[in-house]
Chains A and B, each alone.
Chain A
Amino acid sequence: MSTVLEFFLGGEPQRVEGVEPTTTLLDYLRDDRALTGTKEGCNEGDCGACTVLLGQYDPLGEAVTYRAVNACITLLPAVHRFWVVTVEDLSNGLDSLHPVQEAMVRRHGSQCGFCTPGFVMSLAAMHLDNAPADQAESYIAGNLCRCTGYGPILEAAKDSVAAPKDPAFAAKEHQAVAWFRSLSIDTGLFYDVAQATYDAPVGLKALLQARKDNPEAVLVAGTTELGLWLNKDLQDFPKLISTTRVPEMTAVAFQPDGTLVIGGGATYEQAWPLLRQVIPEGQDWFERFASKQIRQQATIGGNIVNASPIGDGPPVFLALNASVELASVSGTRVLPLSEFFVGYKTTALAADEILTAIHVPPRENDQLFAALKVSKRKDQDISAVMAVFSWRLSEGCFRDVRIAFGGMSATPMLAAFTNAVLEGAPVTEETAQQALASLDDDFSPIDDLRATAWYRMTVSQNLLQQALAEAVETAAEAAA
């Protein structure tokens, strides 16, 4: 187990001790290392000005993979054994710009220039991923620019994806690979500074033991939520336990019976390639879930345990009839997700338990699925309402109806009355009307800064009405 942080930065291996574990990567870069190219715009992961890349070596593919993250909500210990790539690493001075930098200058992609390093890093990630040009909006959805109107940046993205790999950067990658290869096997991290600890074991057993031994500790993965408690509420976190180094926690796989098991520590981006096979209709939902930077850090398990009434993930998993696997040193239990949410931001998770996996049962061939997000802005916004519809039409009747909503009550919730009205009922206009009326029994949404109760209820009814009308039409066609 390492007690020292090791990472690669600025062409040099780094060994860090004595920097507090709750120091954000951004503060470390700017204050401790005077790497001021990375900017602080919002300090909450919403503007992308602090975007850096974390490089990770895949020994099988013998390649470095990169993910863009927000340095402001990434804790320094989380970069243990990563290559931290900052804007300073992209070029060797003003005369040897990286293709994305060159394109940004040529296309007038910067005006005030403050958001620019963040955009450059997101575009660099796109370039390194060899992503198609039409994914530019997705790559920069987590970066805000107030000056340009984005056109020149999108143009620069198009220019740069076509550009060949930058030889200067490739040389740096080469150095980093040598460093990655020099690392001994990962035995976990126990990083302890001035009575504050960050414990990142590598085995599930050790993780569960750490959880049991430290009930006061906060369990973290991507810290996309904890980062806000730290930066905005200025809370202290003397004990953190990280799930990110436990392979079982990040695994995503289908079981022989077709159940998809998503490790509790798997990020949205890690889970999506397989989850997409279950819900290809969820592509829009997935792309509108926060931003690429967040999806590469935030875990599905965290999104569920957080139990926020406005999380985009939980309603989807409720509608998919998912269960959660809760483990502790004394055993494992599996609980339907609908029984996991107990009240506003409270769950059935016991003090010594960890959500180790989400089980998504196999989907029926004729199961309809729709995940509809309503928010002020299309991308990178918190939903006012998240409506998820799932049912089958069988012999003229609704079956296996699982309608779930976020933003409509104190927890993400199945629409119990509505589901009951529909279950087994004939697919008719009359049934649809009854179902719509019953939404009022299920939910009493609130007014807040995202939407009024009126709006939440009205869009929920409108979306359900549209979906039911389509069902009625489908049933009528089938009957005819």
Chain B
Amino acid sequence: MNSLFKHLPLVFRHEWRLLLADRSLWLTLGILCAVLAYGLFNGITATEARTTTQVRLQIQEADAAVRNVDLLRRIFEDKANPEPFANPANPANVGSGLAARYAMMPALPLAPLALGQSDMLPDHYKISYRNKTSFLYDGEIENPWNLMSGRLDAVFVVIYLLPLLIIALSYNVLSVEREQGMMKLVLSNPITLSTLLAGKLLARALPLLAGAALLPIVALLLFFPPARQVDALPQMMGWIALVLAYGLFWFALAAFVNALRTSSANNALLLISAWVVLTLIAPVIVNLAVSTANPAPSRVELATQTRLVTIAGLNRYNELLSTDYRYTTNLETLRPKDGKLDIPERLRAFYLMDRDVDAEISSLLDRFDIQVASQQALVDRFGFVSPAIVAFEGITGLSGNGSRRFQHFKEQIDTFHENWRGYFQPKVLGGQAMTESDYADIPRFVWQEESARQRWTDLAKRLFQLLLLAAILSVLAIVFLRRYRVV
């Protein structure tokens, strides 16, 4: 141990000088920074596009609100005629779409680092009292080919490319010394093999990991204003810790393979095979296993159920639906009188049908959410078979674009949708006209962030998994180094 601390700086300094003189470090760092920069550019533009959309929707929503209230005022003053299908005094028109509000999930400061599910799942919903299936599936438009390819973002670079660069720089740190006959010479000095290996790897790890962990942070601070806040600091620390732990795992693996005392070519083959298995094959297999073990319920069944419930509703409210329709010819019926309004029976029937559909299929819809949640639980439990999965899940979690946060958003949508309906139900069924002050009271969606505690325990668990794997490999490396024959 003593010799380790005494000689490590020496080896490190020596190795560092060699690396600086060599082209390979610069080449590797250059590739890393270039691809990372492209990934960050992609991440930042995609996140900004999402934010722009949200802002635009907020403006649209505010404009519509002003228009509605303005028209309502003029109707009360007898300066305008209400229209049968867009009457701001009619709660059935207002609640079913005229004043629909958007519920939005804001992007987190680290969102550009990992786009995760953000191109797949909606980050806003247009809420009305229509049934949930009418708005729950309106996702963003995206070329499915691009969804299939996936995005090139910072987390992709870290998960796939960083390990390869680590392998390229360190697959032969010991074997090349032996192959060139330098090993005997080096070890004639009073240093141990472990010190030699540790020093060599440290000299490589320092620039590579510092680049991978810090460049994205710097880029975010410079080009993504939402990241410039104190709250973002712990999340950035989390990112740095995950990248370091993940990198550490790969360096530990390189150390282990070097300790096996095979040829350089063999080392390269072993490490690359490990990379293929851990980052390419394992995640795909785990995904398959998880979705086979916990398959999503049938969407066909959902469609069929929705239809059956709709038919039942059409039959149940057949009378209401076919009542006399005087509203287009007799405009007086569209005007509120003493706070009351003649709500067309048809609209009332539609309201009731939507309510019934939701009540009857809600347990079915819940099953989908439960299923995704249990799939996610499996990923959390068995993800450790591949450090790529652990790091990916950790980083997407920090970026706020992981499955769990979207699930959390959907849960809030359920509540908000119920509140919305609860607000309009007495008005629609009781025939109460909308007033100006009612408009101010229409439920508003307030986003509740995921519990911070959950996020940090998740992060801690993943860091622990990565570090544990790295530690096991390091111990193995030391054991094998003890038996290493220099000659």
Q: Do A and B come from one complex?
A: no
Residues of B whose CB lies within 8 Å of any CB of A are: none
